[in-house]
Amino acid sequence: MKFFEKLDLEIAKKSPICVGLDPHFDFLPREILEKNFKKHGENPRGAAAAILEFNLEIIDAIYDLVPAVKPQIAFYEKWGSEGILALEQTISYAKKLGLLVIMDAKRNDIGSTAQAYAEAFFEKDSDLRVDALTVTPYFGSEGVLPFLEIAHKNNCGIFLVAFTSNKGANEIQEPIKDSLIEKINNFHLDFGNLGAVVGLTRNDLVELRKKMKDVFFLVPGFGAQGGSPENIKKVFFDNKKALISASRSVIFAYKDRNDKDFKKSARKEVERMKKELVTLEI
Amino acid sequence: MKFFEKLDLEIAKKSPICVGLDPHFDFLPREILEKNFKKHGENPRGAAAAILEFNLEIIDAIYDLVPAVKPQIAFYEKWGSEGILALEQTISYAKKLGLLVIMDAKRNDIGSTAQAYAEAFFEKDSDLRVDALTVTPYFGSEGVLPFLEIAHKNNCGIFLVAFTSNKGANEIQEPIKDSLIEKINNFHLDFGNLGAVVGLTRNDLVELRKKMKDVFFLVPGFGAQGGSPENIKKVFFDNKKALISASRSVIFAYKDRNDKDFKKSARKEVERMKKELVTLEI
């Protein structure tokens, strides 16, 4: 089955929520860190082991509530090969529990380099194989096509990082807006395995939703500042083709809630989000 | 000492040539592949061991001729954590032989994610620590500053992927040209540790060189199609602030030359490039 078909099915069964696995070192529960540093040393191996233990606990806590997890690879790459090994083990565990895995890596390159990235994340025998990958379009169509083609061959998906919410985003994203929207619609028509990353706090959400009405949106920022009910409604407007993503507000909910049990806190936060979406009639 | 000072010194001693370590699997010498598959199995570990052996031999062959090597991380990531381990060992060996290491990773993100990437490649205790990193500007200034700041703190450098040679490059890079040039000049003034990646076959090389006259250029494409003497002269025009990079044409020269000795072939190709630059009075 193709990625977006699987995603639609799982969303229907569970929710349109994706949990970001961004194991920011400074926020990991102290007891997990100390235990793993004691066992492996205060080094990349110890840090990676702590991240893995944390991730598996989080996945256990939320896997029946959401269709997908989205690891942000930077937080694993920070610990080098040990971190990437922890990422591979996280992917494997998430898949075993029936979760789709969207790798947030924002890769971008051309030719055989783009191909090598795509093979890392999509080929059946790769330990980093996931269901979908975020890709940035700085090299134009030629930098997106190799990802789309190899994803397509492996029934995987691409989320093109299109219009983000950060302060300086429009320095580059505004001048190319219309042409990128056109490209995204065409890629979607040609391949059927392309979605777009769109920031939740943008003030042109209605316009973007209308101009790319058949394109699936991956929307980070739920739970963070600015994820107002109005914006959430705009994202899901009309056809509900969206997956809304929350990372730190879920996995580190124990900090905000002052709760020692990070698993329970994460689960509670996802349940709260689900309820919020129901209230909004999404 | 700061990265660009080191680079200037090493260029003066050796040459303005950088060798790209892009160990494309299909081009690895058969005997190295077979040996390592036999030892480790036909799996990511075997492939990564072959890549490592190949890289160390290439480094041995060229380290006294060039100031820097530039691994393209995609060809390592393709083999997951095993590939990243081979990359770490390659970095370590290159540094031991006095080479600067420029990581071609084209990373791009904002906030704490950008910070995590930058820590992976610049912090002293990271196994992936290198001297400089390529970064893509799709998120605007906010996506570049965390890299610049952390690089600066660690005496490392950034090469911002600015204007590339690929076919679709100008779909996105042309509409933002003037504003990106201005940003690059400002980043250079503010931090002093920013260079720009500029493609060798662009037809606006003279303009780019003039408008960013104090900015160091990293220029891939030497040895590949289109790296004509005229273009090379344009890149080095006036102040010679450039490092010209060749990857496959060096490390896989044995294929073009039909020579079994890939080390000798790689060395010969770098020597040929050095002579070409001397002939061009660079």
Q: What is the ipTM of this complex?
A: 0.97
- Nearest CB neighbour to B168, from listed A88, A141, A169: A141
Considering the candidates A2, A78, A106, A233, report the single residue annotated as catalytic. Answer: A106
Portion 205-264 of B in contact with A at CB < 8 A: none
CA distance A217 to A197: 6
Chain A residues closer than 8 Å to B78 by CB: 116-117, 119-120, 126
Q: In 3D, which of B200, B208, B252 has the Cα closest to residue B231?
A: B200
Query: Are A80 and A115 contacting, i.e. CB atoms less than 8 angstroms apart?
Result: no
Chain A residues closer than 8 Å to B170 by CB: 140
Tokens of B44: 């990511």
* Largest separation between any pair of C-alpha atoms in chain A: 54
DSSP string, B103-142: EEEEE---HHHHHHHHHHHH-TT-TT--SEEEE--TT-GG
CA distance B213 to B207: 10
pLDDT band at A239, cuts 50/70/90? confident
Q: In 3D, which of B26, B27, B46 has the Cα closest to residue B38?
A: B46
pLDDT at A225: 61
Query: In the predicted model, what is the mean pLDDT of residues B195-214?
Result: 95
**Collapsed DSSP state (helix, strand, coil) of residue A199:** coil
Task: Please tell me the least confidently modeled range out of A154-168, A213-227, A234-248, B114-128.
Answer: A213-227
pLDDT band at B225, cuts 50/70/90? low
Query: Are B77 and A117 contacting, i.e. CB atoms less than 8 angstroms apart?
Result: yes
pLDDT band at B191, cuts 50/70/90? very high
Phi-psi region of B19 (alpha: psi -120 to 50; beta: other; left: phi over 0): beta
- Nearest CB neighbour to A167, from listed B22, B142, B175: B142
B179/A77 Cβ within 8 A:
no
Chain A residues closer than 8 Å to B252 by CB: none
- Nearest CB neighbour to A172, from listed B106, B126, B138: B138
Is the CB of B116 inside 8 Å of chain A's CB atoms? yes
Chain A, nearest residue to B47 by Cα: A126
CA distance A130 to A69: 10
Is the CB of A138 inside 8 Å of chain B's CB atoms? yes
Q: In 3D, which of A166, A132, A137 has the Cα closest to residue A18?
A: A132
> How much is the pTM?
0.98
Query: Are A99 and A69 contacting, i.e. CB atoms less than 8 angstroms apart?
Result: yes
Chain A residues closer than 8 Å to B84 by CB: 77, 80-81, 84
Q: Where are the beta strands (DSSP E) in A12-67?
A: 17-21
Residue B17 phi/psi, 5-degree rounding, is -115, 135
Q: Which residues contact B256 (CB under 8 A, 6 or more apart)?
A: B249
| pLDDT at B181 > cutoff 90 | yes
Counting every residue written for chain A, the total comes to: 282
Is the CB of B139 inside 8 Å of chain A's CB atoms? yes
The per-residue pLDDT for range B237-276, each reduced to its tens digit, is 878 899 999 999 999 999 988 888 999 999 999 999 999 9
Residue B241 is a catalytic residue: no
Tokens of B26: 């299909």
| pLDDT at A223 > cutoff 90 | no
- For residue A72, the distance in angstroms to the closest alpha carbon of chain B comes to 8
A74/B116 Cβ within 8 A:
yes
Is the CB of A181 inside 8 Å of chain B's CB atoms? no
pLDDT at B226: 62
B22/A113 Cβ within 8 A:
yes
A140/B171 Cβ within 8 A:
yes
- For residue A110, the distance in angstroms to the closest alpha carbon of chain B comes to 8
- For residue B151, the distance in angstroms to the closest alpha carbon of chain A comes to 14
Tokens of B249: 């044409």
Q: In 3D, which of B18, B128, B123, B118 has the Cα closest to residue B73?
A: B128
Query: In the predicted model, what is the mean pLDDT of residues B212-235?
Result: 88
Q: Where are the beta strands (DSSP E) in A130-227?
A: 132-135, 157-163, 194-198, 217-220
Q: Structural domains in chain B? A: 3-277 (3.20.20.70)
B171/A183 Cβ within 8 A:
yes
- Nearest CB neighbour to A116, from listed B74, B82, B180: B74
Tokens of B231: 């273009």
Query: In the predicted model, what is the mean pLDDT of residues A201-206?
Result: 93
